[in-house]
Amino acid sequence: MCMLDLMPPEEADRLRREVAESGDGWRLPMPPFEVLGQYGSVEGIDADREGELRARATDQPFGTYTQPLAGPAEPGADVDRVLIACRDFTGMLEAGVPMLAFLGKPPWRRFDLPTGHWPMLSAPAGLADLLDEAAA
């Protein structure tokens, strides 16, 4: 299973066309802001932050959509496992998506951040606070 398998077939086909037509066959260009919200919540991204996001964005290597998804790696017992989940991800966790079930069990520690997909832009102070709390 790959990321494309998690999408409706017509959306997967649209992305393949986009990569072929505008991404030299290997990269997915950053979509226009009005389309971006279809892929992840843009909650908290105002016009200034939109400009910053656009200025820093790079195309997504499309192989990340086509390579098979692997199960979770098992790091050593001394490795802390932390999840900071924004609204999009908390929705998937609460919906019980089977491939994410391991994230709700020890040794994982979950911190929720009520913002969109780009917390470093939409809620930087809240993100820093959670990172600090997780590291403490």
What is the rounded CA–CA span in Å between residue 24 and residue 101?
A: 36
- Asked whether residue 53 carries a pLDDT value surpassing 70, the answer given is yes
Side-chain half-sphere CA neighbours of 46 within 13 A: 2
Q: What is the mean pLDDT of the chain?
A: 90
What is the predicted pLDDT for the residue at 58? 93
Tokens representing 10? 């017509």
For residues 85-108, give the mean pLDDT.
Answer: 89
Q: pLDDT exceeding 70 applies to what percent of the chain? A: 98
How crowded is residue 134: how many other Cβ atoms within 10 Å of its Cβ?
14
The label of the residue with tokens 């802390």 reads 80
Residue 92, pLDDT score:
87
Q: What mean pLDDT is predicted for residues 102-121?
A: 92
The total of other beta-carbon atoms located within 10 Å of residue 74's CB is 7
**Model confidence at 72: pLDDT above 70:** no
Closest-CA residue to 117 (of 85, 92, 94, 93): 85
Q: Is the pLDDT reported for residue 13 higher than 90?
A: yes
Give mean pLDDT, residues 59-76: 84
Spatial separation of the C-alpha atoms in residues 62 and 19, rounded to whole Å: 7
**Could you identify the residue written with the tokens 């709390």?**
133
Between 38 and 128, name the one with better pLDDT: 128
Q: What is the pLDDT of residue 71?
A: 66
Give the pLDDT mean for 19-25: 96
C-alpha closest to that of 16 among 28, 2, 8: 28
pTM of the model: 0.76
Q: What mean pLDDT is predicted for residues 108-122?
A: 94
